[in-house]
Amino acid sequence: MGSSSKRRQETALRSPQILDDKLVFAKVHTLWEVLCTYAEILHIKLPLKPNDLKTRSSAFDNFSCFLKVLQVDESIIKPEQEFFIALFEKSCVNDFYIQDRDTFFNPATRSHIVSLNRV
């Protein structure tokens, strides 16, 4: 079996959803192994573990009264958790912060990997 036909089997197009004549959503699936391989090749930075370090004060802290106007209400928009990150390596996959394989790679990264996998 050729490598291009094998790659096509590893990436599958799910049934497209047509919203109107101009807008179509298609769910594309690829194997975990393919995602990991391309993440390593592309030197993608991914989370290792949550960042538990306190941020140091900066010179801008003196201007906090002015910056307060720009702050968002955290009851409406929750702050995102910060992580230590590293270049992905398949040999160190257990060191990465993987709570769910389905959400470990964000949609943009998945889409990029799938588009490269189709070539």
Tell me which of 48 and 13 has the higher pLDDT. Answer: 48
The band of 25, judged by pLDDT with boundaries at 50, 70 and 90, is confident
Angle at 106 between CA 44 and CA 46, to 5 degrees: 35
Domain-wise residue ranges, the chain: 3-117
Beta carbons within 10 angstroms of residue 88's beta carbon: 25
CA dihedral sign of residues 80, 85, 87, 93: negative
Judge whether residue 27 has pLDDT over 80: no
**Residue 60 identity:** F
Mean model confidence pLDDT for the chain = 81
Cα–Cα dist 1/40, whole Å: 25
